Each structure stands twice: as C-alpha cells, then as structure tokens.
Amino acid sequence: MKRQRRLGAVAAATALTLGLAACAGGASDYQSTSGGSGSLTFRSWSPIEQTTQQMIAAFKQANPDAKIDATIFNYPEYLVDLQTRAASNTMPDIVGLQPGALTQQYRANLMPLQDCAEKTWGADWQQKFYPIGLEQARMGNPAGDENFYALPLLVQTVNLWANTKIFEEKHAQIPQTWDQLKSTVNQLKGGEYAPFMLPAKDSWLRNVVFLQIANNIEPGLVYKAEDGSDTWTNPKIVEAFDYWGKLFTEGIAQKGAIGLDAYPTGANQFEAGNAAMIPLGAWWIQQSDPTKTGLPPLSEGMSGYQPFLFPTIPGGAAQPQLVGGIDVSLGISKNTKDPDLACKVLTDWIAGAGAQKLVNTFNDLPAVTGLNPEKFTSDKQQQIWTTLTSDWMPQVKYSRYLKTPQMDTALGDALSGIATGELTPQAAAEKVQAEQQKVNG
Amino acid sequence: MSDHTHHHRTAPREWRTGILFLLPAIVLFGIFVVYPIIYNFQASTLDWDGVNPGRFVGLDNYTRLFQDPIFLTTLKNSGWWILLTIIPQALIGFLLAMLLNEKLRGRAIYRAIFFIPAVLSPVVVGIVWQRIFDPFNGVVAKLGRATGLNLLVHGYLADPKTAIFAAIVVNVWMWTGFSMLFYLAGLQLIDNSVLAAAKIDGAGTWRTIRSIIWPLLRQTHLSLLLLGIIGSLKTFELVYVLTEGGPNHASEMLPTYTFKQAFQLQSVGFASTISVVLLLIAVISSLSMVRAFGSGFLTGDEK
C-alpha cells in the first residue's frame, strides 16, 4: 500500500510535468509582449540605464502618447534573458544586438529594417552611416539574404590611448612603429605606472589587439583565412601571433597581464594614472561625459589622454590600419504589435532626438555621420571627437570581430595560450586553423 | 468485519486528503525540479542554439564531451576544489570556532568579522581579490617587493599552473567563516557534563578535543562535507569574476564552461550535456554520502 501511494505521487508529478512540458529544441511561434499600439518594450545591455531614460524622454517629447518600457542588463545577463524570452514567446519589441553571431541567432525573430530606414531617411539612407557599420550589420547573413536585421546604433574604432601627462613628464613620443613602442616602454619603465597596460584577461581584448597587429602586418589577411581563401597558418598570420607573444616575452606588457581584466580594473588603473598606454577603443571618450560629475583630473575634458593607432610592424603595411565596428545595434521583433512605432523609436535613437541625447553623453561614436554632441567641455575633447568621427571612423575597413563565436573563442584561446607560453605561434595558428575548418565544414 | 469494511471505505479518502496536502509541494517540485531535468536531458540530445529549431543528434554530445580536453580540465579542477576547500575550511573553521567559543572579550565582533566574507557578493570578492593578486599593482606583490619575498610577486591568477589554486584560496577565505558558524552551533549542542566528566577523568585540552569534541561534531562535519561538495560543483561567480575560467581554460569549472557553451558559443545542446553530467555527479556523490554515513546529518536525527 505504502509503495503504491508513493508510486501514485510520482505518477502524478510526472503526468503534471509532461503536461506542461514544452520540448527543448522546438521552434516557437513568436509573439511580442507589446500590449498594442502606443506601447513598446526595449531590452539591451547598452546604452546604460540613465542614458536610455534620456533617449526615451526625448522621444516622448515628440510622441507624448508612446510608452516605452526599457530594461538594461549586464551583457552576460542580457544574453540569458534574450534567449529565454525568445524561447518563451516574450521577445521584446526592440532589442540590442551585437553584429554577427548574436544577430544571426535571432534572425528568424527579427524584422528586416531597410523599409523602415528608407521610409524614414529616404532612398539614399545608407549614405548616412559609416560603411563598416552597415557592412557588419549584415555579417553572417545567408548567401543572397540582403536584409538588414539590425541597424547600428553606436560604432567604434579599436586603438590605443596614451596618458599624455606621463608622456609630457618623461618627454616621450607617442610610438608610431614597433621599435618605437619598445623603446618608449623602456624609457617609461621604473615608475609607479605600467608603460603599456595590457588587460588581457578578456578574450575580446586579446582579439582586438591581435587584429590590429595582424592587419598592420598584412591588411585583411585574417578575414581571408576566415572565409577559407587563405589559412591561419599563413606565415604572415603566424608572424602576427609571434608579435602578440612579444608583447609578453619582451617586457612590453605589465607583469600578470593575462590575469588583468579591462573592466573595471584596467580601465580604473589607466584613469587613475597607473598606466602610460592602454589598448581600448574610441569609447574611452565616455570617461569625459559632461553629464557626470566628479570626473578624475585626467578625464576632465579628456585633458590627460590622446588616442593613437597601433604601431606599424617591420615589414608590414606602411601605415597603421583602422580596425573597428559596431558597438551595439538595434533590431525589431518580427512580431511586434506596432511595427510603425518601433521603427519610429529605432530611427529616432539612431539619428534623431534620442540619438542626440545619446551622443551628448559621449558614450561611443554614433553610427551615422555628422551627429555631434551639443556641448564640448574642452577643445581637446572636441579635437579628439573630430579625430575619431571624421578622420578615423570613415576609414575603418577591418572588423574587430570574427564572424562566428566559435572563431572568436578559438582565437582568444590561442592568444591566451601564447601569452602563457603554452603554445608557440605556429601551434596556435594550427589550432585556430583546425577550428576554422570545423566551422567552415 | 465491519472494521474491515470501514477501513476499506476510508482509505481512499485518506489517500486523497494526503495527496491534497502534498499537492502544492508536488506541483512546485514538478515545475522547478522534475521538468527542468527532463527538459535538460532532452536538450542534451540536440544540436541546438537555444532559439532556432534544434537537430536530434542522439548521444553525440556525450561522445564529444568526454573527448573534450576542457571538460576533463573542469573535472580535475572540481576535484581540486572539493579537496582543497573542504578540508582547510573545516580545519580553520573548527579552530576559529574553538577559539571564539571561549569567553573572549569582543568575541561577538570577531565572529562577525570572520563571517562577513560569507555574506559578501562573490562578484565583489572576485574584483577585490583580482586586484589584491595583481602582480603589477596588487597588495600581495607590493608586500613581496617591500620584503624581498619574491614568491609573492607572481601573477597567481595569470599563471595557468596556479590560477585554480589562487581561486581556491579566495574561496577558502570567503567560506571559512561559514564553517566556523556551523562548528559554533555544533559546539553549543555538546553537553557540558560530558566535558566536565572528561576533565575529571584527567583528559587534557588536546585529548578532549581529539577524543570528545571532534567525534561529537560528526553531524557538523558531514553537513559541511555535503554542502562543500555541492558548493564546489556549483561554483560560478567567483571563478567567472576572478579568472573567467582562464587563462586558456586552466581554471574552468563545470558551471563556467556550461555558461560559455550555452550563451557565448550558442551551443545550448552541448551545455545541457555538461549540466546532465554535473547533475549526475551531484546526485551520485550525495547519495553515496547518505549511503555511507546515514541520513542523520541531514535530518538532525541521532543515529
């Protein structure tokens, strides 16, 4: 009897579970959570909450009836949230997206945006955008699919930053070539600061530094290795791996570089004056956000910083190459209840009143040209802004991302292996190539 | 006869009432435990990105898993983690509990201080310790440089040979206060007359600890052992923040690897496979503990 009861309970629990079980791996018919016209949901990891609220307020000034419910997460949490929502038919109306794999993962749930763009900005709408942003927005689309499932909101270059205070004190020159980099690092050694702070714990940072080196050696070669028209074991790429390793073996990077994260530690150290150079990107200008109070002295009006490009490599390209891409792009759920409103919000945030609010915070560079902050706090800040948006961004040819997360991970792992001495450049190249063949099938 | 009939008539009603009482628990258990396990197992048989339709691949994910060197690293790391957190944590925690069980001036403050790390967010602990260990600008390295102890000037989190052990040190620091608290509670339960009897019998302090107190804390040891094993298998935040599982996966744990597979590499199927294995390890280790030591330490019943 006792046993029977127990069986009964188990059976009840099982029946119940099976009754409610949706299967893993099934496709679901997506529905938006939007409650009809005039109300939208937005979820993303970027822009930050405070800025997002300003953008919403700016949009509502012109559209008082619109209701936008926004939630901003940390990036890893956002990925979990988005995946769960997409799988449970509660996809937000507007979503933040990374180009490539993330956009492609949700492609089936996203609405093509070129009609919205054309309706808002006219037939030549593509002219408004920096070319690399548009190129990356379609990265990974299946052959023949020319749709834009996401449009860039913010873009960036990846580059180096100098602490000009240290450079001036030491009468040092910003290095333009690899040899100058080495001699500058030697010149700056012995202080309380790291001459070249490499926060290499993060895979993304390792990859962008490597891509700057590789493109300076042979512009564009890694992307050929990626699409299979060349290989990662090409001596020029092996050489790039070798130069990456030299950052560690030749004492350029600080001790323990592979254990230091870019955010918050590396960035904090640089801002506190504990480093003379650091590889980050255009977004570093956000340190001088005039809407923030109590900025550290170096960040006030960008007074202590200067951006520069990764030094050229002996035997490589004569000029440093520009690497960059999308910081964050936006997509619209295919099943949004109010596509017109969603389009209006999206285009407003990319190039309208909302975009102006976003750009005013110097969060990163706008995806469209000619959009500038209303107020600069210093001439230096304005001069850096102009360098980034007018001189550099239009010239960006090379992507800071690889096309698939598998390759981004394989490259990041290989670079980590070189940094810790577990892999030789040749072995690292072979590992990445092996993974590439797996990915390309 | 009438008794017999009576019994038969009321039994189903009793049964129904019983089920009704159990129902809320069964429903919750079904939704939050049974269903995810089934779902997870099913997902482990798929090549699936978590969003788009998956493809059935049978047990391929399992074959791939056991050939995956990173998975083997996570198993090895879990082993180290279990061994090197549970034992030192128990010993130091016990020692602290013994000290703070005495009538010491300000002992409430000491107890609080030792317990504070356990209530901090692992993310905060991770960020702070990453800075403490930073060989360029961290406290440990600065101490090393000041004293000439070169041993301290080393990037322990940055070295694949030591990263997992550095993370374990932080974990021990974090959770020792928790063990202390358990032992303090256990010590309160020891009957003073037993200790008094030992004293009369001429047992010294060491003898009393070894032969009386330590054995009487058996339930506490076992509870900490089980919590330690489960906690080790579940470790995520601390490692993710300290090393992100690196360098080059050297400090990867099962949950950090699962997260990477599911959300960075979009391989929810493979990640589910890791979860299934993790679940099996947890269930097997818990069950074997209950088998070996009885369930008294879980239910509080003396055996």
Instruction: Give the range among A220-234, B10-24, B238-252, B275-289 with minimum mean pLDDT.
Output: B10-24
pLDDT attached to residue A33: 43
Which B-chain residues 107-146 have CB contacts (< 8 A) with chain A?
127, 130-131, 133-137, 141
Residue B84 neighbours by CB distance under 10 Å: 17
Task: Give the number of A-B residue pairs with CB atoms closer than 8 Å.
Answer: 156
pLDDT attached to residue A12: 46
Does the pLDDT value for residue A3 go beyond 70?
A: no
Chain A residues closer than 8 Å to B268 by CB? 24, 83
The rounded distance, in Å, linking the Cα atoms of B245 and B250 is 6
Q: Do A80 and B263 touch (CB under 8 A)?
A: yes
Over residues A313-332, the pLDDT tens digits come to 999 999 999 999 999 999 99
| Beta-carbon contacts of residue A90 (< 8 Å; ≥ 6 apart) | A31, A33
Residue in B35, B51, B159 nearest the CB of A105: B51
Report the DSSP pairing between strands A39-44 and A67-72. parallel
CA dihedral B226, B229, B230, B232 (to 10 degrees): 150
Token output for B52: 């788009």
| Beta-carbon contacts of residue B203 (< 8 Å; ≥ 6 apart) | B211, B212
**Nearest residue to B11 (alpha-carbon basis) of A373, A5, A240, A85:** A5
Q: Do B137 and A83 touch (CB under 8 A)?
A: no
Instruction: Please give the residue of chain B at the shortest CA–CA distance from A19.
Output: B35
φ and ψ of A256, to 5 deg: 75, 20
* DSSP code per residue over A255-305: TTGGG--IIIIIHHHHHTT-EEEEEEEGGGGGGG-TTSSS--TTTGGGTTE
The pLDDT mean for chain A works out to 91
Does the pLDDT value for residue A111 go beyond 90?
A: yes
Q: What angle do CA B212, B218, B220 make, to 5 degrees?
A: 120
Over residues B25-38, the pLDDT tens digits come to 999 999 999 999 99
More reliable by pLDDT, A381 or A5 = A381
Q: Looking at CA atoms only, how far is residue B67 from chain A in angstroms?
A: 15
A144-168 as b/e, with b when 16 or more CB fall inside 10 Å?
Answer: eeebbbbbbbbbbbbbbbbbbebbe
pLDDT attached to residue B151: 84
Chain A residues closer than 8 Å to B245 by CB? none
Q: pLDDT class for A425, splitting at 50, 70, 90?
A: very high
The pLDDT mean for chain B works out to 88
Q: Do B31 and A203 touch (CB under 8 A)?
A: no
State the average pLDDT over residues A388-400. 96
State the average pLDDT over residues B41-46. 93
Q: Do A420 and B22 touch (CB under 8 A)?
A: no
pLDDT attached to residue A16: 44
State the average pLDDT over residues A31-45. 69
Over residues B198-216, the pLDDT tens digits come to 888 888 888 888 888 888 8
| Beta-carbon contacts of residue A247 (< 8 Å; ≥ 6 apart) | A196, A198, A209, A253, A257, A419
Does the pLDDT value for residue B92 go beyond 80?
A: yes
Residue in A1, A79, A255 nearest the CB of B155: A255
CA dihedral A400, A403, A409, A413 (to 10 degrees): -60
pLDDT attached to residue A201: 92
State the average pLDDT over residues A8-23. 48
Over residues B128-179, the pLDDT tens digits come to 998 899 888 888 888 888 888 888 888 888 889 999 999 999 999 999 999 9
The answer to whether B300 faces chain A, any CB pair under 8 Å, is no
The rounded distance, in Å, linking the Cα atoms of A57 and A354 is 8
Task: Determine if residue A219 is left, alpha or beta; phi over 0 gives left, psi from -120 to 50 gives alpha, anything else beta.
Answer: beta
Instruction: Give the range among A180-184, B52-56, B150-154 with minimum mean pLDDT.
Output: B150-154
pLDDT attached to residue B300: 65
State the average pLDDT over residues A79-101. 92
The rounded distance, in Å, linking the Cα atoms of A296 and A286 is 13
Q: Do A83 and B51 touch (CB under 8 A)?
A: yes
pLDDT attached to residue B57: 92
